[in-house]
Chains A and B, each alone.
Chain A
Amino acid sequence: MATTEYLPKQEMPDPGPDQILGPGHDNNTVTERIAGIVYLPLTKAPRKWLIGAFISFVFVNILMGAMWVLFTKGIGIWGVNIPVGWGFAIVNFVWWIGIGHAGTLISAILFLLKQDWRTSINRFSEAMTLFAVACAGMFPILHLGRPWLAYWLFPYPNSMWLWPQPRSPLEWDVFAVSTYGTISLVFWYTGLVPDLASMRDTAPHLWQRKIYGVLSLGWRGSARHWHRYQKAYLLLAGLATPLVLSVHTIVSFDFAISVIPGWHTTIFPPYFVAGAIYSGFAMVLTLIIPLRSWYNMRDLITMRHIEAAAKLMLGTGLIVAYGYAMEAFFAWYSGDKYESFMYWNRVTGPYAFTYALLILCNILLPQLLWIRKVRLNITLVWILSIIINIGMWLERFEIVVTSLHRDFLPSSWGTYIPTVWDVATYAGTIGFFLFLIFLFVRALPSISIFEVREDMHHAKHLQHAYEEKV
Chain B
Amino acid sequence: MSHGVELRELPTIHGAMAEFDTPEELITACKRAYGAGFRRMDAYAPMPVEGLAEAIGFKRNRVALCVLIAGICGAVGGFGLLEWITVIAYPHNVGGRPLNSWPAYIPITFECMVLLAGLTAMFSMFAMNGLPKPYHPVFNVPAFERASVDRFFLCIESSDPLFRVEDTLEFLRDLGGREVTVVPA
Contact = CB atoms under 8 A, between A and B. Distances in A.
Given A155-B81, A223-B52, A235 B63 contact: yes
A335 B56 CA distance: 70
A194 B58 CA distance: 20
B128 interface: yes
A253 to B, nearest CB: 8
A16 B30 CA distance: 39
B136 A161 contact: no
A202 B145 CA distance: 8
B161 interface: no
A228 B63 contact: yes
Contact of A454 (B48, B55, B61): B48
Interface residues of A, number: 62
A221 interface: yes
Interface string A229-240: 111100110011
A6 B105 CA distance: 53
Contact of A31 (B44, B92, B150): B150
Contacts of A451: 47
A243 B74 CA distance: 14
Nearest to A196: B148
Most buried by A among B45, B110, B121, B133: B121
Interface in A241-288: 242-243, 246, 250, 253
Given A167-B86, A218-B132, A224-B58, A453 B118 contact: no
A172 interface: yes
* Main DSSP-derived SS at the B contact region: helix
A235 B85 contact: no
A457 B22 CA distance: 10
B108 A171 contact: yes
Contacts of A228: 61, 63, 125, 128-129
A342 B81 CA distance: 40
Contacts of B64: 231, 235
A457 B89 contact: no
B147 to A, nearest CB: 5
A179 interface: yes
B11 to A, nearest CB: 21
A227 B67 contact: no
Interface string B118-153: 110110111011011111101100001111111000
B112 interface: yes
Interface of A: 26-28, 31, 155, 161-167, 169, 171-172, 175-176, 179, 182-183, 186-187, 189-190, 194, 197-198, 200-202, 213-214, 217-232, 235-236, 239-240, 242-243, 246, 250, 253, 450-451, 453-454, 457
Given A187-B118, A223-B58, A457-B49, 20 more contacts: A31-B150, A155-B81, A163-B89, A166-B86, A167-B104, A169-B107, A172-B107, A175-B111, A179-B112, A201-B147, A217-B126, A218-B132, A220-B44, A222-B42, A223-B42, A227-B58, A229-B48, A235-B63, A235-B64, A236-B118
